[in-house]
A and B are shown apart, each in its own frame.
Chain A
């Protein structure tokens, strides 16, 4: 059961056709930096709509109401099938997991990889006291399956740093980025604070879904909330594979809506409010930045 830590967050976003995204060549390693801009011309928003525990299907653009800084926008529905899903798996490699637990985590990662459809890609980030991009986005399932089981455990958990890297990586490919982040506890070693991480979340477009085991503090539920993701607190690692699959499946069935911001100042923070006619729990990003943060 996915915890409703981020229920009914009126939010959403993401960029832009204007991003000029130039990464994520299937099967390729990072060869050159992605080219994208902080300028927002078209805002795209992944929206999850539920009534009870059921995702609501069959909605049209007319069913959505989006307010950008309080100003109603003209909403269009984007065909989700036109936008491939790009999954960033960000997995805890700290040695607080024993061998059996690590086996469960590897199996969970492979379950996501095996579930990828044509056109969909995945990237893999592992973290302990340092963060490693094991592979950028690729559709090479064999390589992904190997790498997900290959990371060497180490001490400590630079969880926030890893989430920062994963979110940046998520925006490096055209399509719909989702970060599936797993940790068996809270951050212990990052240079980034929780506030800095949440700021990264507001400046990048990935939906972050967090699966944790044990204590997780306040930051991870908030991270899921501001990105329109979900926060799942599990009690056993042998259930994580099912949670990962559930998250990916649910993400595919979300709506993608877009709008061109109208009647609002271009620069700065834009708070989003997303509602649907007929009600329901709506989960989407809380807003987006356009341009640099103001310097104090």
Chain B
């Protein structure tokens, strides 16, 4: 075991990213390779305080992206579950800090993500390489004996994926989910999250990007390494609408498959039921959507899921021309949220269709007039949030690794 005195570590950290000189460390040789970072990393893992921006975190965060390859190769196979769990915590905290804190930006050369706002690509940003580091650690941890390591890693994947979905960091999420599902192929929550990812890719906000993604994947598969940059919204793309629609349907088909799998693995997973119904409705199958979502709409669910179930039921009933049932569902959705605009617009649609245009106008006026306080409307974020949400899942994971 590499050892390093705490004083030496603190001195090194005080110097920022300066590395301890080889001679200052009593043992840095493992398998014939001398690397002062190995000992520094091990010390950082042991001394980092969970969820704190401390010196071990800031020091390791400042290392170049390629520094971890050798460190992990040398160290990971010999460490125990407790150490690996701590290492997972350190790199998760670094990734979180690099996502949210300006003083700890991700290093250049890391993975790049495209920022899409309202359906349009706006810029690219560098993402933390520490999710990938953490995944390597998770892969070692899950091999350890006993039920805890696997439970810790599964909880980590659920929490981190929910967080990435909440951020809308879908490229990072895709890689994270792929690794998670490879380890836990029968985890219903990961299947739900994978379905939600593809539901988001099928969303109008991301339809163009999803289409480009699919084209890029196809070109790579055919050995074409580069893709011409896609023009802005004014660029001539005569087939954009048709191919965008087709790409959306393809994503929604994948989402449907994943939600069905999640439900097969856990029939009580109501969120998967609601999202499956939403996707079925988007694919034009409202009759089946009603059948699927009805049990969730009748269940006693937390507010987000209860609202979402009522909205999906209302929309599908409306599409089927069952306006009384649609109105009742929208009423429930409005009640769950104290009158979210989306639910009220649904209510106004039903009033209009039932021949009450004055009532329809009164309803929308009440929730859209200037000066009316905007209420949180879960409809605008259904493709980003899960129930339970990322914060709850993250806290549960942190409790597990304490």
Contact = CB atoms under 8 A, between A and B. Distances in A.
Contact of A164 (B118, B315, B348, B370): B348
Interface string A25-40: 0000110011111100
B360 interface: yes
A296 B321 CA distance: 5
A149 interface: no
Main secondary structure of the interface of A (DSSP, over half): loop
B369 A133 contact: yes
Interface stretch (A48-56, A188-196, A257-265, A279-287): A188-196
Nearest to A20: B358
B377 to A, nearest CB: 7
A273 interface: no
A156 B361 contact: no
Contacts of B380: 129-130, 156, 158, 189
Contacts of B379: 189, 191
A130 B377 contact: yes
Interface in B272-310: none
Nearest to A197: B349
Contacts of A291: 355
Interface in A172-226: 172, 184-193, 195-196, 199-200, 203-204, 213-215, 217-218
A57 interface: no
A271 to B, nearest CB: 18
A79 interface: no
A38 B352 CA distance: 9
A268 B361 CA distance: 21
Contacts of B355: 38, 291-293
Contacts of A236: 234
Given A129-B380, A168-B348, A192-B349, A294 B361 contact: no
B346 A191 contact: yes
Nearest to B122: A96
Contact of A155 (B118, B358, B365): B118
A131 interface: yes
A132 B380 CA distance: 15
* Most central of A34, A187, A213, A214 by chain B CB within 10 Å: A214
Contact of A186 (B119, B341, B360, B361): B119
Contacts of A200: 349, 352
A165 B345 contact: yes
A38 B368 contact: no
Interface string B191-214: 000000000000111001000000
Counting contact residues on chain B (CB < 8 A from A), the size range is 35 or more
A293 B364 contact: no
B203 A188 contact: yes
B240 A295 contact: no
B353 A296 contact: no
A69 interface: no
B345 A192 contact: yes
Interface residues of A, number: 61
Interface in A98-147: 125, 129-136, 147
A244 to B, nearest CB: 19
Interface in A38-73: 38
Contacts of A203: 352-353, 357
A227 interface: no
Given A38-B355, A214-B234, A291-B355, A168 B361 contact: yes
Contacts of B205: 156, 188-189
A196 B357 CA distance: 15
Contacts of A134: 370
Given A95-B118, A164-B364, A195-B319, A130 B341 contact: yes
Interface string A218-244: 100000000000000001100000000
A187 B318 CA distance: 19
B361 A34 contact: yes
Contacts of B392: none
A11 interface: no
A86 interface: no
Contact of A295 (B321, B342, B360, B362): B321
* Most central of B240, B319, B370 by chain A CB within 10 Å: B370
B27 interface: no
A156 B353 contact: no
A124 to B, nearest CB: 9
Nearest to A97: B118
Contacts of A30: 365, 369
Contact of B358 (A29, A37, A129, A193): A37
A214 B233 contact: yes
A133 B354 CA distance: 24
Contacts of A89: none
A188 B369 contact: no
B364 A188 contact: no
Nearest to A151: B370
A132 B358 contact: no
Nearest to A290: B355
A54 B382 CA distance: 48
Given A29-B369, A156-B118, A292-B355, 5 more contacts: A132-B368, A191-B343, A193-B315, A213-B234, A293-B355
6 contacts: A130-B341, A157-B118, A186-B204, A191-B346, A195-B319, A215-B208
Interface of B: 117-120, 203-205, 208, 233-234, 237, 240-241, 244, 311, 315, 318-324, 341-343, 345-346, 348-349, 352-362, 364-365, 368-370, 374, 377, 379-380
List 6 tightest A-B contacts by C-beta distance, closest first. Answer: A292-B355, A214-B233, A296-B321, A33-B362, A191-B342, A38-B355
